[in-house]
Every structure is written in structure tokens, then in C-alpha cells.
Amino acid sequence: MEKLEAILSSKLLPMSQKLQRNKVLAALMEGFIRTSPITLGIAFITIVGNFPIPGWTDYLTKIGIFQHVEAITNGATGVFALYVVYSLAYSYAKQLGSNERNSAIISLASFIMLMPQTIATTVMQDGQAVEQTIGALKLDFLGGQGLFIGMLTALLVTRFYAFLSKKNIMIKLPDSVPPMVTQSLAPVFVVTIIFVLVFIIRVLFGLTASGSIFQFFIDVVNAPLNSLVASPLSIIIIMEVLAVLWFFGIHNAVLQGPLGAISMTMVVSNIAAYQQGQELPYLVPSVIYMGMYAAGFMGFVTFFMIRSKSAKMKQLGKLSFIPSIFNITEPIMFGMPIILNPLFFIPQVFTQLIAGFVTWGLVTTILPINLNPTMSLLPWTTPTFIKMPFSGGVNYTILMVICMLIGIVMWYPFLKIADKKEYELELESEKMKAQETEAEMIAEEIQA
């Protein structure tokens, strides 16, 4: 393992550091890190509100609490794209030497301008259900489904704002005007140009069958997967696509169409056959899905982070450990960040792929599984190490351990490299602070 770490450190770390000096990547990493307090802050409420006890959410709904849990969750992750747009635009503007606040607020406005602003709904009129269109923003596009478009909007608008700001088309105001007023009014022409371009983009995508850039992107991503049926290979393909897209900041919600259709087909069909004492029609695909899910379990990642030398990684590991146990991965994905971090590309993209094929081979040869598909109805926050043993007994537990070991082997060397890098940066920062303190003390003695 030490030899592998040395090879990776010598080959991968320099390349990663070079890529991270890129202004776009640096802004992406900083922008995501700045949003981590939001995902960490709601973790406790999300876990309690969705605690994996049968009937718990029904009870909370009955006493009128669950709607408030959902409100807190939607106020954070449900509109998470808004926070990312602002934070990313701010960070990128700082990299470009442009006005951070102007770039952030203009990017946020552009993002909302591109969004569909009407929703078809059903209302009761004179005792009859009538379809009606109301003015509203769709929560899906404000959250996971709009995250990638939000990232693009923040980067492109900020870059264009910085470019136009240097072309001397700002309004010149007298020096007597307060700086806050000057900064607000000076870029009026620049903002007008940006909003005209946003208007053109909105119109062009409105002419497509999708109706908006958001739906167009979802349709394009979903198109290759919509024709897939529930099979071992299709599950591996979809789970791998999810891992790749998640690395690039595209939330799993984008693929909820094909993934939802396939997963529901497997769950409903398997439960129906199980209740009738028949062979499960989607046994192998279901087992592969959970095997890959186990390999992607982030609990061991946060555990290794807690044991790291770097203060940053250690503290983030402590904060993310409990959420990761309950399958809440956003704190670690955005806090490290793992998203768009070149150092973590290999474990993020290939871990579940390897586990998928290993699971496929084991379950069809030496490790047959007797699956209880009703356990798939447990809440999504049910820890993997509880759900799998209850779903398939000893063999399923053995498979879970094997898949988790694959995850550990894949992640551990890269976490060690990241820890070494962060620890060196922290030592360098402490050294610089000590030198500054010493210089200040010498200056004070000279003045005295």
C-alpha cells in the first residue's frame, strides 16, 4: 500500500496541484466548500425526520411535524442550486479580480431568468377540478436538477461580466458619489448586455420541445438511458453514470426518470413474486444495485478522515461521519470537496464500477442470495450495514463486506495523499503566521 501511495503521490499529486491552479477549478472547489455549512447544518434534522424506523415518518406526518422537516430540507437542499450559483460566482469573480458581489447577484438573477416560471396545476372551481397555470418556480430546478445549469450560469456570466467590465463601458460617476452607489450603478450597461443574452438563450430553448434549458439538459442526459430495462448490465451502466455525473457536480436527481422507472419495476415485481412464493424476476439486478451502493458507502471515508493528520480533514470527517452513516453524502461531497477534485476522480468514478462486476460474478456463481425484497421499502436513510443483512442474511452480509472492502481499497490511498497535501499546507500556513508574528514583535521593539 505504501508503494502504491508513493507512486500515486509522485504521479497524480503534481497533476492534481497543476489542475487546481486553474481559476475555474479553484473557484469550483472554493464555491462548493463555502456551501458546506448548509449541508452540514441540516443533517441532524434530516436524519431525525427520516429516521429508519417503520411508521416514523407517518407518525411525524400525523402530528404535523413532518411538513416542517420537509420545509427545512427544501430550504437547504431543495434550493441548493441558488446557493451554489451565488457562492461559485463570488469565488470565480475573486479569481478573475472582478467585483464579487455584482458577479454573484447578476449570476443568480440570470439563473432564475432562465428558469420556467409557470407550473400547471389543478384547482377546484365550482366543485370541479380545473387545470390552471400559475406563476411559480419549480423546486426541482432550484435544487439537484438545476445544479449543473446553475454552475454553468455562474461561470459564464461571471466570466462575461469580468470581460465587459474591462471594456470601458461602465458609467463614470463623480468621485463625490459614495462607493456603494458607484459599484451598483456603474455596471448598468454591462448587466443590460448580459440580460439581453440571457433573454435570447431563454427564447431559443423555449422554441425546443423541452421548453427550457433545464428540461433540455435533463432530456439529453436521460435520452440514452430511457430505453434501458432492468438487467444486470443496465444497473451497472446507470450506477456508473450516476458516479461520473456526481463527480462533475450533476446531481442524481437529473436521472430520477430512468432510474426511478427501473428501480420501481424491480421493487414491485420482486415483492409481488416474493409474496406468491415465486422466483424473484429481478434478483440479480437488485443485488448488483445494493452491492454498488455498499461500495459507495461514505462512512469509511469519513472514518479515515477522522484519523488523518490534517486538521481540516479531521474536523470535516467528524462533522460528516454521522450524516454519511445515514446515506447523507452532500457534506463530504461539497465539503472536501470530492466534486471536480482531480485527486478523487479514480475512486469516485471506478469504485462502484468494479464492485458492480464483482457482485455480478459472485451472485451468479459462488455466493447465491436469498433476497427479501420488502426490505427495499425501508427509508432511504437506513444504514447500508443494517439494510443488507436484514434483506439477505449471511450471504448478503458477506457480499456487503466484500463491496465495502473494494471501496476502502479504492479510497484509502487517495485519502492519504489528500491528507498529506492538506497537512503540508497547514504547516506552511502556521510557519508563515509565526514569521509574521515575529516580524510584528520586532517592529514593535524597534518603535519602542
Q: How far apart are CA 191 and CA 198, in angstroms?
A: 10
Name the least confident of 18-27, 252-261, 322-331, 422-431: 252-261
- Among 52-56, 66-70, 119-123, 169-173, name the one with the lowest average pLDDT: 169-173
DSSP string, 223-240: HHHHT--SSHHHHHHHHH
| Out of 125-134, 200-209, 236-245, least confident range | 125-134
Task: State the pLDDT at residue 169.
Answer: 67
pLDDT digits (tens, 9 = 90+) for 298-348: 988 999 999 898 988 898 888 889 899 988 888 888 888 888 888 899 999
pLDDT in the model for residue 226: 63
**Given a cut of 70, is residue 433 above it in pLDDT?**
yes
pLDDT band at 85 (very low <50, low <70, confident <90, very high): very high
pLDDT(175) > 60: no
pLDDT at 36 over 70: yes
| Predicted confidence (pLDDT) per residue in 341-393, tens digit | 888 999 999 999 999 999 999 999 999 998 888 887 777 788 888 889 988 88
Q: What is the CA radius of gyration of the chain?
A: 25
Query: What average pLDDT does the structure give for the chain?
Result: 83
Q: Residue 180: what pLDDT? A: 56
If you search the block for the grid coordinates 489542475, which residue do you land on? Answer: 19
What sign for the dihedral angle of Cα 69, 71, 75, 78? positive
Tell me what pLDDT residue 160 has: 92
Q: pLDDT grade, residue 173 (50/70/90)? A: low
pLDDT value, residue 198? 94
pLDDT at position 405 is 95
pLDDT at 276: 83
CA–CA dist 388, 291 (Å, integer)? 9
Contact criterion met (CB below 8 Å) for 295 and 357: no
Q: For residues 302 and 336, what is the distance between their CA atoms, to the nearest angstrom?
A: 10
Question: 213: Cβ–Cβ under 8 A, 6 or more apart, which residues?
Answer: 114, 149, 201, 202, 205
Query: What global pTM score does this model have?
Result: 0.76
Share of the chain above pLDDT 90, in %: 24
Q: How far apart are CA 117 and CA 86, in angstroms?
A: 20
Beta strands in 128-197, from DSSP E residues, in sequence order: 128-135
Residue 105: pLDDT above 90?
yes
pLDDT at position 106:
93
In this predicted structure, the answer to whether residue 411 has a pLDDT above a threshold of 70 is yes
Residue closest to 214 by CA, chosen among 286, 130, 284, 144: 144
Q: In terms of pLDDT, which residue wins out, 430 or 222?
A: 430
pLDDT computed for residue 30 by the predictor: 83
Q: Which pLDDT value is given to residue 199? A: 95
pLDDT at 219: 83
Report in angstroms the alpha-carbon separations of 31 from 82, 233, 251, 255, 353.
12, 36, 16, 24, 29
Taking residues 34-62, report their average pLDDT: 82
Per-residue pLDDT, averaged over 69-87, amounts to 87
Lowest mean pLDDT among 56-65, 135-144, 188-197: 135-144
Mean pLDDT, residues 41-58 taken together: 80
The count of other CB atoms within 10 Å of the CB of residue 280 is 21
What the block records as the C-alpha cell of 126 is 365550482
Q: Which of 29-38, 52-61, 383-392 has the highest mean pLDDT?
A: 383-392
Amino acid at 376: S
What share of the chain in percent tops pLDDT 70?
A: 85
**Which helix or strand (DSSP H or E) is residue 336 part of?**
none
Q: Tell me, what's the pLDDT at 93?
A: 92
